[in-house]
Structure 1
Amino acid sequence: MKVRVISALVGILLFIAVVYWAPQWVTLLAFSLLCALAAYEFLHNTGLLKGSPLLPICCIAAFVVPAASNYDMYYILPLLYVFTLLVFLWAILHPQRITAEQIAHAYLGAITIPFLLSGVMRILLQHENGKVYVLLPFLAAWCSDSLALVFGMLFGKHKLIPQVSPKKTVEGAVGGVIGAVAGLCIFGYFAGNKLGVEPNYLLLSAAGVVGSLAGMLGDLALSLVKRKTGIKDYGRIMPGHGGVLDRFDSVIFTAPLFEILLHFTSAI
């Protein structure tokens, strides 16, 4: 428990440094490294592309995704095009060493997951109040996770989807929704004071509900991959927490959701 708490505190300090103190190029570099590591965990540590020459190509592509999607969404197209050329060129030249499933895994690990996770960075760098709103996907995901754990321990009786995640319960999921709604409303109170606006608690509550559900889906989705590939954690980079994907599985699904919501409304 002590290791877990210390690891969490170090992570929070690094987050603050990268988001609020570092110049933009350092922020981009940090997210690029995070996405490359996520791709490595997803493709190597699971065994999906372990030992494949495609693995370094996937990690390089994942590293480029944050910058490409931040400066102009159009830059994703040449990245995707070059990546596709390389993947299928290698597959055509070595048809006996790759399966159709591995090709699909390559796209999921190198492009899709990094692009979704980069929603955090796009909120931060492209929105007028990005340094405030960047907290939204984290609050929705982690407040939901925290209260879901508490509700599950206190009231959990009915399994949610035991085939995917045996410990998750319906009662925990209800607690997760309550936690996300409460977290975003508290955020609205303090953020509203900082920005000098009246918080829209109805909108924040609705965002909390959908954000919590999206975070749970992310958690279950990455848990399904772990179960299918027979691993307990994606990595060990964060002692007591596992790997990047273990800690950011929910955020991968909440970040693009809040990016979309903020595109249509900036009200808090």
Structure 2
Amino acid sequence: MSIPVIGIILAIALLILMNTIKVMKEYERAVVFFLGKFQTVKGPGLIILIPFIQTMTKVDLRVVVMDVPTQDVISRDNVSVKVNAVIYFRVVDPEKAVIKVANAFEATSQLSQTTLRSVLGQHELDDMLAERDKLNVDIQNLLDQRTENWGIKVANVEIKHIDLDESMIRAIAQQAEAERSRRAKIINAEGEMQAADRLAQAARTLASEEQALQLRYLQTLKDVAGEKTNTIIFPLPLDLIKPFMEISAKGKTRES
């Protein structure tokens, strides 16, 4: 047997061997077809195929991180924004991922774009900015339901950026400033109300106790006397001398 013939035989044998013995890594699975019909899922480890009768498609089970391209979204209150996101998903059913969809990754990418626009379009701009975590969960749940038939599990969705035009940024800044001004006025009004209540309470206390009113009057005299001035004109209230007038009247009654 000539050397060329031996070489051809060895090449054929090597080709058959390569199509017979396969090694799947821990994160890989082999979807095996027997004469074009699905047979089983094998792996990880060493698997043996019948050459030209059994074929296989390799599937990666690791989590895939996919950027969702920037999408133009019109919110429910008719504000145009640009939104992009990132999704985390993985294949959990290799059979469905191969048989049910031609390209699982491309299908998931396209579906994520339409779902992002659909979900965010149902919310107002304030909800997009303030409730991002809730929107992430809503998008993730909806995507997970739609990709379940493809054997794909969407683990997480994160909205990365919500971009606004300059006019909308200025409008939001003006709205925030107006809100801060409103809160400041409310706090000031509440402070004035509390001060008025305390003053009214103090006035009622002083009115019910004549001695307290006299002590307050004398304290005021002391404070004024401490001022650097030559002349002090201070009115003498009738309530202050009323007790002395009553004592004087009682004395005259006794004398008569």
TM-score grouping bracket, smaller chain normalisation: under 0.3
**Which structure has the greater CA radius of gyration?**
2
Q: How high is the TM-score relative to the length of structure 2?
A: 0.19
| Greater relative contact order (Cα < 8 A, sep 6+) | 1
Greater per-residue helix proportion: 1
Greater per-residue strand proportion: 2
